[in-house]
Structure 1
Amino acid sequence: MKNIAIIPARGGSKRLPKKNIKLLDGVPLIVFSILFAKANSNIIDEIYVSTDDEDIRNIALKYGVKVIERPKNISGDLEPTVSALKHVLQSIDLVVENVILLQATNPIRPENLLKDTFEIYQKQNCDSLFTVSRNHKKFGKIIDQKFIPYNYKIGQRSQDIEPLYFENGLLYITKASLILSDIIISEDAFPFEIDHIFANVDIDTQEDFDYAKYLYHTHIKP
């Protein structure tokens, strides 16, 4: 039974063209996820890039990972990520137990993230795990032109409010059998909390990329 990493990377982004191979410090974004996977070869048996783009394909092959050609019918803007993962599983001749999903648009992860999450994943006998981070903002709804606080009371200090968490996209681990049933995060998935400077980064626009570049040169590689 194998553990594989899958990096889905379409070529057809509209808001930020070719975003998966934009250069961050001279390195294509997707390469950060490839190198992270390769650095965890004690856990990951094979690395696959799923793409419909020739440039992405060539970069992946240059870095020595396997490429699965993604069909056009599952390469559209509205197609869920699980479609690409499922297609990879159906295209390879391996008995896969666990899939580690690494998104190219979340390029920077803590060095020990997979080690720490995989230990919990196995110890808790999870069928899926995903990373989350705490959001310290005060949320509310606007109803009938009135602001209704959601997670706090007016005047309450932000450090005293009940915490809310968001799915940060840094890492997912899921049983292959779940993905074949079109599920990445199960109802009882383990939420692994992480506080990391790049947890707020999901590159989809030029502004996102510029922010990621700023954080990278400020906190990762000054």
Structure 2
Amino acid sequence: MKTIAIIPARGQSKRLPKKNSKLLNGLPLLVYSIQYAQKQAEIDAVYVSTDDAEIKAIALQYGAEVIERPEALSGDLEPTISALQHAVKTINCSTLETVVLLQPTNPLRPKELFANAFQYYTNNKCDSVFTVSRNHHKLGSIQSDKFIPHNYTPGQRSQDLEPLYFENGLLYITRVAELLKGFIITEDGYPYLVEHPFASIDIDTQDDFDLATFKLNFYIND
């Protein structure tokens, strides 16, 4: 076993309760990431890290293995790296080389994304690869009731903005050795560019969930 997928899925969420088990077009949200991982020939096993009995049952039902996450690693402020390190140490496999992180809150991914990103990771012997998308917004902050532009000057055309990118959360690939040091994205991590409508789906609220439903149906029917 050289490459595994880990899907961290806590039971509780403040803004959208039980979102990881909430049905998206008839399937629990979590299942989209499980099934995506299962379709990838390069992934040898799929694990769900959870503190929740319902999520555990769903993961097992759909063919994933389960890592029971301790309560101490399941709080709102606990970083994802803690769950990944706990999972790797629990699995304790000497041949494990690579972890693929799939966040259940990013359920929709372009079909060929993983194969292409993993090929780049392998061919270039990267320590990590993560997905990004270009930002096309005029951004700024509000200070003392005044808007302060950050990435443009007033009147500048959107197409002339400085190219800036955001971490979209669709996919992370990391060497286990780096993960155990505390890194999901390493210093030399490769930003894999994704320009696809799915890259904007990151579910935190009911509005996000509704948008995911719309885009999923649109692309199914397209």
Q: TM-score, normalised by structure 2?
A: 0.95
Aligned pairs (5 A) from 1:63-74:
63-74=62-73
Cα distance, 1:93 vs structure 2: 3.2
**Mind listing any 5+ residue stretches in structure 2 that lack a counterpart?**
none
Cα distance, 1:221 vs structure 2: 4.2
Hey, what's the Cα distance between the residues in 2 that align with 1:181 and 1:136? Answer: 34
**Mind listing any 5+ residue stretches in structure 1 that lack a counterpart?**
none
Confirm or deny: 8 A CA contact 2:203 2:209 kept in the other structure: yes
State the superposition RMSD in angstroms.
1.3
Hey, what's the Cα distance between the residues in 1 that align with 2:16 and 2:152? Answer: 36
Hey, what's the Cα distance between the residues in 1 that align with 2:130 and 2:89? Answer: 23
Question: Which residue does the alignment assign to 1:218?
Answer: 218
1:68-111 CA distances to partner (integer Å, 9 max, x unpaired)? Answer: 00000000000000111000100013121110000001001111
Question: Which residue does the alignment assign to 1:77?
Answer: 76
Aligned residue for 2:107, secondary structure, equals: coil
Confirm or deny: 8 A CA contact 2:110 2:198 kept in the other structure: no
Aligned residue for 1:61, secondary structure, equals: helix
Q: TM-score, normalised by structure 1?
A: 0.95
Hey, what's the Cα distance between the residues in 1 that align with 2:129 and 2:107? Answer: 19
Question: Which residue does the alignment assign to 1:30?
Answer: 30
1:96-150 CA distances to partner (integer Å, 9 max, x unpaired)? Answer: 1110000001001111111100111112211011000011001123344433322
Hey, what's the Cα distance between the residues in 1 that align with 2:198 and 2:33? Answer: 13
Structure 1 range deviating more: 182-191 or 211-220:
211-220
Cα distance, 1:194 vs structure 2: 0.4
Hey, what's the Cα distance between the residues in 1 that align with 2:150 and 2:61? Answer: 49
Aligned residue for 1:108, secondary structure, equals: coil
1:158-179 CA distances to partner (integer Å, 9 max, x unpaired)? Answer: 0111111110000000011111
Hey, what's the Cα distance between the residues in 2 that align with 1:32 and 1:221? Answer: 18
Question: Which residue does the alignment assign to 1:176?
Answer: 176
Q: Following superposition, which runs of at least 4 residues in structure 1 exceed 6 angstroms of deviation?
A: none
Hey, what's the Cα distance between the residues in 2 that align with 1:11 and 1:4? Answer: 22
Hey, what's the Cα distance between the residues in 1 that align with 2:203 and 2:161? Answer: 29
The percent identity for this pair of structures is 58
Question: Which residue does the alignment assign to 1:138?
Answer: 138
Hey, what's the Cα distance between the residues in 1 that align with 2:52 and 2:190? Answer: 33
1:38-78 CA distances to partner (integer Å, 9 max, x unpaired)? Answer: 100x2001110000111111111111111000000000000
